[in-house]
């Protein structure tokens, strides 16, 4: 690209082609003049800051999911009464989830009646029965 004597050496991307920056240069780096926006040190600092912010958001998100996973793992093996004691919202939802799980078990049993060798349905039946047994405080069959 051709630069004039009093022109920033930065490049601006337009809709079609990149072009020279037309801002007034204010700082010299390695024999080239740059405006405040295209100053290589400023660009590097801005990228480092954005990267640090993105890393912080990612770590917070991972931490959130780790806490969520820990809560789920802690709930495994709880009885219905213990699960209801966790939060009022869970207490309100637990009976409906329990009923929905019973309905799901019935649906899987219907599938197994028509297709007794369906391994996936057999596995689903076992998982649902174990979950119901834990929720009801009974041992699985």
Q: Where are the domains of the chain?
A: 11-69, 78-136
Residue 32 or 90, more confident: 32
- What distance in Å separates the CA atoms of residue 126 and residue 92, rounded to the nearest whole number? 26
How is 29-48 classified by DSSP, letter by letter? Answer: ETTEEE-TTT-HHHHHHHHH
Per the document, the length of the chain is: 141
Q: What is the tens place of the pLDDT at every residue in 63-94?
A: 777 776 666 566 565 555 666 566 676 667 77
- pTM beyond 0.75, yes or no: no
pLDDT at 140 over 60: no
Tell me the β-bridge partners of 13: 18
Alpha carbon distances (Å) from 81 to 75, 87, 95, 103: 12, 11, 10, 21
Report for 45-59, 109-123, 124-138: range of highest mean pLDDT? 45-59
Handedness of CA 122, 124, 130, 135 (dihedral sign): negative
Residue 3 or 42, more confident: 42
**Looking up tokens 């929905």, which residue turns up?**
100
**SS3 at position 12:** strand
Residue 82: the pLDDT is 63
Alpha carbon distances (Å) from 111 to 115, 119, 132, 133: 6, 11, 19, 21
The two three-digit tokens of residue 80, written as one number = 């219905």
């Amino acid at each position: 690209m051709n630069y004039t004597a009093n022109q920033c050496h930065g490049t601006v991307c337009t809709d079609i082609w990149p072009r020279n920056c037309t801002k007034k240069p204010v700082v010299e780096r390695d024999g080239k003049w740059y405006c405040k926006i295209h100053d290589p040190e400023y660009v590097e600092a801005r990228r480092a800051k954005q990267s640090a912010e993105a890393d912080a958001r990612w770590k917070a998100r991972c931490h959130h999911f780790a806490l969520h996973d820990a809560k789920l793992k802690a709930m495994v093996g709880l009885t219905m009464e213990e699960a209801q004691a966790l939060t009022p919202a869970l207490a309100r939802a637990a009976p409906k989830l329990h009923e929905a799980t019973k309905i799901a078990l019935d649906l899987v049993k219907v599938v197994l009646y028509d297709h007794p060798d369906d391994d996936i349905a057999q596995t689903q039946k076992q998982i649902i029965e174990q979950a119901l047994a834990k929720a009801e405080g009974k041992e699985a069959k």
